[in-house]
Chain A
Amino acid sequence: MRQEQSSRGPTLRQSLSVAAAVGAYAISFGALSVAAGLTVAQTCALSLLMFTGGSQFAFVGVVGAGGTPVAAAATAALLGARNGLYGLQMAPVLGATGLRRLAAAHVTIDESTAVATAQPTARLRRLGFWVTGTAVFVLWNLMTLTGAVVGDALGDPRRYGLDAAAAAAFLGLVWPRLREGSARAVAAGAVVVAAALTPIAPAGLPVLAAAAVAVVVGWRTRS
């Protein structure tokens, strides 16, 4: 028992430190979302119900750039597709059914999966998943509300450089994924496609079209 107690410590510490870091960027999400024209209530609904950072930033990014709601929803869904793969990975670890399975699905995100898969035993993987998922959920929503209220009070977002902050947020989200050569090739291709299409295609489409680059490169790369 004593040994078990001590072995839970590192998992809990890891879970909570990840949640604290994530809480900080929920503030930027809240502020950028109201800057893009969403209401405080819509901003909070995204964090409560969508609860997957990349998709949320993308949704408000496309709306802010003048894209149609359909393009915004499609971009968010494409970015959320990876959570399905995380679910596939977590399902046998968690063995959850019924309501617990719905709850597990909702907190299946980059952070909870990453902490879970880094643990040495099945017990700790479950612990890491649930603690990280729950802690991130709570902080993410509290900090989104904070950011949205503060952002709403600020007024013209461009005066405070919030449009540049949104670009930096996307760069920060993609940065850790650029270690591999194939990822860098896809990023470069996506940049060219998006830049080329922006002057000629309706808003939202350049981002979706860039996904085609990933399919082509991913299909041709040998593992």
Chain B
Amino acid sequence: MTGWTAVLVACALCFALKLAGYLVPEGFLAGERVRRIAALITVALLSALVVVQALGEDGSLTVDARVPALGVAAVALWLRAPFIVVVVLAALTAAGLRAAT
């Protein structure tokens, strides 16, 4: 798959999933267990993405300026800062540390 094919296939899949909710008979996917697993899959994927994005480097784990930046982001979230502030603080922390070294 090239870049554009992947983009369009992924978009089509995501739209099909949205539409599926409107087309399947009520009750089919509505089981308590299915709902719970779907919610937890979201948590699992996002958590794994945090790790890969913060520590991954060409197929290995590396600790660099991203780790303290993520720490700053966590503190900001804990203080209930808005999303954009959290993201900008993390970028500034990493950029600042890299500029200083």
Contacts and interface: CB of A to CB of B under 8 A. Distances in A.
Interface of A: 21, 24-25, 27-28, 38-39, 42, 45-46, 49-52, 54-55, 57-59, 61, 63-66, 68-70, 72-73, 75-92, 96, 101-102, 104-106, 108, 158-175, 177-178, 182-183, 186-191, 193-195, 198-199, 202-203, 206-207, 209-215, 217-219, 221, 223
A102 B19 contact: yes
Contacts of B30: 88
Q: Which of B3, B48, B60, B95 has the most CB of A within 10 A?
A: B48
Contacts of A174: 42-43, 46-47, 50
Nearest to A94: B22
A207 B98 contact: no
Contacts of B33: 218-219, 223
Contacts, number: 318
A173 B32 CA distance: 23
Contact of A69 (B1, B17, B42, B58): B1
Given A54-B45, A90-B22, A183-B43, 4 more contacts: A55-B10, A88-B21, A89-B21, A177-B43
26 contacts: A25-B84, A28-B87, A50-B10, A64-B53, A80-B18, A84-B18, A85-B35, A88-B29, A90-B21, A91-B26, A102-B19, A105-B15, A108-B21, A161-B92, A164-B73, A169-B86, A171-B77, A172-B87, A174-B47, A190-B45, A194-B49, A203-B59, A206-B48, A210-B48, A214-B37, A218-B33
Nearest to A70: B1
A68 B54 CA distance: 19
A206 B52 contact: yes
Interface in B19-70: 19-22, 24, 26, 29-30, 32-56, 58-61, 65-66, 69-70
Contacts of B99: 159
B15 to A, nearest CB: 7
Contact of B4 (A42, A52, A164, A186): A42
Contact of A198 (B4, B39, B60, B96): B60
A44 to B, nearest CB: 10
Q: Which of B20, B38, B53 has the most CB of A within 10 A?
A: B53
